[in-house]
Amino acid sequence: MMAQKRMVWVLWSIGRSSAHRHAFIPMSGHSSSSPIIQKPPPLHSENESLLENLSSMGVDLNMARRRQPGVLRKLLTNEQGLAQFLMSKGADQETIASIISRFPRSITRSCEHLEERWKLWRNIFKNDSEVVGILSRSPESFFRSSDNENLQENITFLRSLGITPKDLHRLLTTAPRTFSNSVELNRNMVELLQSICLSLGGKDHEHFAKTIISKNLYILIRSTNRVKANVNFLLSSLTLSQAEALLLLQSHGAQILDLSHESLKRNFKNLQVKLQCLGCSKADFKKMILNYSLMLFISSERLNEKLDCLMDAGIHIHQIIQKPKVLDFSLDILNQRLQDLSRLGYDFQKNGIAVLDSSKKRFHAKIERLGPLEMESAAVEVEKGAAAIKQQFLTSKENFYAFLESGCTGGKDDEANKEEPSEEPEQKRMKMDKDEERKEKRKMRGQNKSRPHTKPQSYEDRRLCPSITRERETKCVFGEKCRFLHDVSEYMSGKPEDLGDQCHLYNTFGKCHYGLTCRFAKAHISPDLKNMVKEDLHKHSTDNETVRNHLDKELQKRLRKKQVEFTGAEAYLKTIIRGKKPEKKSTDECTEENHSRTPNPTTDAPDDQETQQEDDRSAPVKTTGPITDEDIIKLRPCEKKQVDFTDKLYLAPLTTCGNLPFRRICKRFGADITCGEMAMCTNLLQGQSSEWALLKRHHTEDLFGVQLEGCFPDSMTRCAELLNQNIDVDFVDINSGCPIDLVYKKGGGCGLMTRSTKFEQIVKGMNSVLDVPLTVKIRTGVHQNSNTAHKLIPELKNWGVSMITLHGRSREQRYTKQADWEYINTCSNLAAPVPLFGNGDILSYEDAMKARETDVSGIMIARGALIKPWLFTEIKENRHWDISSGERLDILRDFTNNGLEHWGSDTQGVEKTRNFLLEWLSFLCRYIPVGLLERPPQKINERPPFYMGRDYLESLMASQHVGDWVKISEMLLGPVPKTFSFLPKHKANAYK
């Protein structure tokens, strides 16, 4: 017994010391050279050393305790090996922490086991990132089973059934638990399906099983008892012949086999009773199920509502039995279609109900053929959510696009618009049956979450080497290995034609740094192919820096090599690990001690901004002896930079569209506060140039902040310290309102509102390292009709935020409901004296006046600025601005000039500017000129009907077809490249 205890002691000491050597945050109080002597944890208690390790990695210990508490008592674990393995496969620290939090048993897997299992998964997936994506969504699918042989046997078994690699990929993506089941379970399911086939007289039982699995991937993770019960119930209740049963199970019926048995019986019984009440026979009921068995997924209440709706419209039940797919549409769509057909006097008994079972496009085409004039006038009267426009400007969709086509000059876009201007061009359409087309239409709603981005540099096959473009005296450092051209004559022979005679960069700054590659090069390239310079103008522009917050190359190298020190962040994070709370001091105490405060001298040379900040505070005093008081080292709240947010107009941080060129437009029209686009803290800490570009600040932005997104205190605090030392901002904002799934599911954005402990640690940590105010943007809550902001705001005050912005909608609402300004007013009273800005549905100065009647300190404007950036002027001058189409085109021209300054005037810069312009035009087209409105002002949730503008350009700007947006871009940036393609954020529009 004593020998066994001694062996446990030795193993525990070795395991824990190994873990400490590789910890994310080293344990303080011990040197790395001296051994750590600790007592093993008591029996049945948690391993404190393991808890410290996991906490330093960002693991949610409370979640881990709920999921698998026994893991936290283990003496030998491999958390650091797991982290290093996943990092080598492309996973970030947040993903690793999330995986361990949700499936703690993952830290018990050895590196050899992980490597072997990863290879098995990679036989199905194309790259490591796909596997990491599955793990972040469902970690148990990878770690649940430790039997790699079982996984290999599962893959071999499924392949032996004839399942293709594509189906295997889909199976592992949508139902990964299939592969963690034992082979016997999967084999039992397949054998069950094969036995069902044989019992029904089927000949090819292997094909039968494969067909059902490919149509319903989730069936393998269901119990055989459920599937057997459902099959027996259908066979006995419908009295099917063997041929009918085989046909049903290999078509729609395959998808209802994994439905819970109670739900299947309940929905089946309800449908049967309903049809009997309507006078249908058993044969009618059987026919309906065979035609479309998926209706058994519809709940009893919803099915009754749909049948009653159709019957009230004069449709006979036998017509529904013949066309049961009509029940697959939502109740709202059915009601709207029935109203449209009723206005035209459509006779369902004579013409049938096939028109109801059609795609949206085909239905509207049918309506227009039946009576376009009557429908046009009726739509104006009854259409919900449409803005009221004067009658003389209204038109039909067909006439609107015919007018635009008549005024264009011809070319590629006309061919794309001939058949159906408001849909995708012909080359993007795919022919499909009705059922597939309806599913495709459903898929094309919402955002393009994984849209392919065409890189602007792909439009230029041969690019000139930067050493020649910038006319450097030294030769290219890459020599013969350089992938760019060095022959100027060869480059010029294949260079596309210039887009104009005047170069905006040359005229503004005296020199265009893009030289020969500039698409307006004829303005500044001499006959001997030299780049000309206006010396006086160039000297003036060089002396006055217009854009700040560039990423220093040396800093980028240090970030990528993880050589940047975060002393302030590390000091704070240690207080979290130890459970130590820093002492709070009042403002009066800070004022009294301010005169005697001695700053901590630094060894690094400060930049101009840091020097200026030091001058604003006390001058550095040389001290002797050690300084141990932590309160002397960091700034106290009374010493931080103060910003007056009161009664300002705040341009919201807007992803994609809120770029620097757009902010310059809004600043010119009167925006007081601007903020950069949401930046991911992990990407900033990795030194990604594309993420650091979001922090750039134009010199006209006099009150500017940056917005950070993250979900862990370590990364957010380090990022705040990094930005505090290297960029010039007036405040830093925490994004805790982002609703998108990619951010929310990781615990960021709106997810922070539900993780108060992490949220508190993030706010306090960032405050401890920032010299500027820290602000927070939140929503009313996560779930609809369940507001939580009023509970969070008092906590935010105590945590030390300087300003709160509240969007008057929950995450679930997105933009489908109106913003709740009454609730915003309630929250503003709770926030006092901390300023609270309200956000939501501001599109006119009248909306702003109503918002200011509440107790908010200011207004944040988001979509309203995208639809009409001159809104800031309207609010400050208290008027409606009936802006002309020519003035709006001038605004777009200013944006393109700003874009050429920001992204460049070469092909890459021009096409990048064009892409961002097209993204913005997807919002600008929603604007309705004031002079056309029946009752100004326009409301933000009112969609514009088809109308003719007061001139051709105004009509073109009202088009919601992306091909017309491209025409507008060609007015400003010349013709698009031959291989140009554009896919906006919303799936309803596309151009290729």
Query: Active-site positions?
Result: 738
DSSP state of 398: H
CA distances, 608 to each of 414, 695, 725 (Å): 55, 18, 11
H helices of 752-844, where?
756-769, 789-799, 821-831
Give the torsion through C-alpha atoms of 387, 388, 394, 398, to 10 deg. Answer: 30
H helices of 161-238, where?
165-174, 177-180, 183-199, 205-215, 224-238
Written as one string, the DSSP assignment of 450-481 is TPPPPPGGGG-SS-B-HHHHTT-SSPPTTGGG
Which residues touch 578 (CB under 8 Å, ≥6 apart)? Answer: none
Which residues touch 806 (CB under 8 Å, ≥6 apart)? Answer: 778, 779, 780, 789, 824, 827, 828, 836, 837, 838, 839
Q: Could you tell me whether strands 836-839 and 858-861 are parallel, antiparallel, or unpaired per DSSP bridges?
A: parallel
Q: Which of 724, 758, 515, 531 is nearest to 635 (CA)?
A: 724
DSSP state of 734: E
Copy the structure tokens of residue 886: 């020519």
Copy the structure tokens of residue 257: 């086999």
Distance CA(430)–CA(437), nearest Å, equals 9
Copy the structure tokens of residue 564: 């940047």
Copy the structure tokens of residue 745: 């599911």
H helices of 444-552, where?
466-469, 488-494, 504-509, 535-543
Q: Could you tell me whether strands 836-839 and 803-807 are parallel, antiparallel, or unpaired per DSSP bridges?
A: parallel
Helix axis angle for 660-668 and 885-903, nearest 10°, is: 140
Kindly tell me the number of DSSP H helices and DSSP E strands found in the chain: 50, 10
Q: Could you tell me whether strands 774-779 and 697-698 are parallel, antiparallel, or unpaired per DSSP bridges?
A: unpaired
Q: Could you tell me whether strands 697-698 and 547-548 are parallel, antiparallel, or unpaired per DSSP bridges?
A: antiparallel
Distance CA(131)–CA(140), nearest Å, equals 13
Distance CA(890)–CA(482), nearest Å, equals 41
Distance CA(354)–CA(337), nearest Å, equals 12
Question: Peptide bond before 601: cis, by omega within 30 degrees of 0?
Answer: no
Distance CA(173)–CA(196), nearest Å, equals 27
Helix (H) or strand (E) holding 860: strand 858-861
Phi and psi angles of residue 735, each rounded to the nearest 5 degrees, phi first: -85, 105
Phi and psi angles of residue 177, each rounded to the nearest 5 degrees, phi first: -65, -15
By the 8 A CB rule, do 224 and 188 touch? yes
Which residues touch 297 (CB under 8 Å, ≥6 apart)? Answer: 255, 256, 259, 267
DSSP state of 42: P
Distance CA(168)–CA(186), nearest Å, equals 14
Distance CA(122)–CA(135), nearest Å, equals 13
Distance CA(279)–CA(395), nearest Å, equals 46
Distance CA(478)–CA(482), nearest Å, equals 5
Which residues touch 214 (CB under 8 Å, ≥6 apart)? Answer: 163, 167
SS3 427: helix
